[in-house]
């Protein structure tokens, strides 16, 4: 059985090097229920190939957290690769399979909230996180906060996976509600600032 593939950042297409890719065999002979039978690491461009003389009940895992601060997304299913879950694929006996593993690095996001033209203490803002691809669930989708009055809150950086993040907010002033939308891109190792001025 052979598995060929690549460990990469799906946003940039860049491979991730030196990542351990491990083949296990399911067995009742071991307390954990599995035995490590083969291991390899990705090359400088993120490619790997792992082979083993035919065994039954084998599966493959990948450990991007061993080589840096990455948010693991999981295996990208190809060639009818059976997935146990996003992080484990079943290896077919007697076949050469192709499977890629996705992971994205982290940056951080700062959310600053300021009522720049306060009408009165009944001013209200509701801020919502609408998600984004490869989201690390730093924020739960849906209503993040509801604030009243003349707000001026500088934020602090919060660790977040690389990629687009979508937000909207509803502002009510003088009994009139207006909705705003914004999208930010969190870059690897950098702090992205979202200013919610209303």
Rounded CA separation 136/190 (Å): 16
Q: Could you tell me how far CA 15 lies from the centroid of its own chain? A: 16
CA distance 132 to 183: 9
68 conformational bin, left if phi > 0, alpha if psi -120 to 50, beta if neither? left
Question: Are the beta carbons of 103 and 71 closer than 8 angstroms?
Answer: yes
pTM of the entire predicted model: 0.84
pLDDT, one tens digit per residue, over 67-114 is: 889 999 999 866 555 555 678 888 877 778 888 999 999 999 999 999
Q: How confident is the model at residue 78, as a pLDDT?
A: 61
- Tell me the pLDDT tens digit for each residue of 114-128: 999 999 999 999 999
pLDDT at 13 over 90: yes
Mean pLDDT over each residue of the chain, to the nearest integer:
90
Tens digit of each residue's pLDDT (9 = 90 or more) over 127-170: 999 999 988 888 899 999 999 999 999 999 999 999 999 999 99
- The pLDDT of 7-23, averaged and rounded, is 96
């Amino acid at each position: 059985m052979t598995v060929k593939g690549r460990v990469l950042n799906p946003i940039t297409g860049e491979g991730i090097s030196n990542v351990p890719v491990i083949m296990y065999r399911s067995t009742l002979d071991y307390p954990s229920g599995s035995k490590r039978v083969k291991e390899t690491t990705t090359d400088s461009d993120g490619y790997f190939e792992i082979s083993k003389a035919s065994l039954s009940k084998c599966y493959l895992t990948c450990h991007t957290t061993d080589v840096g601060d990455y948010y693991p997304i999981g295996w990208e299913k190809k060639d009818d690769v059976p997935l146990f879950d996003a992080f484990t694929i079943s290896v077919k006996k007697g076949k050469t399979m192709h499977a890629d593993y996705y992971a994205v690095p982290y940056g951080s996001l700062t959310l600053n909230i300021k009522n720049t033209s306060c009408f009165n203490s009944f001013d209200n803002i509701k801020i919502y996180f609408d998600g984004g691809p490869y989201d690390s669930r730093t924020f739960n989708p849906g209503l993040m906060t509801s604030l009243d009055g003349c707000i001026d809150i500088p934020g602090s950086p919060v660790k977040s996976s690389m990629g687009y993040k979508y937000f909207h907010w509803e502002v009510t002033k003088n009994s009139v509600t207006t909705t705003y939308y914004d999208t930010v891109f969190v870059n690897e190792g950098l702090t992205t600032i979202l200013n919610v001025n209303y």
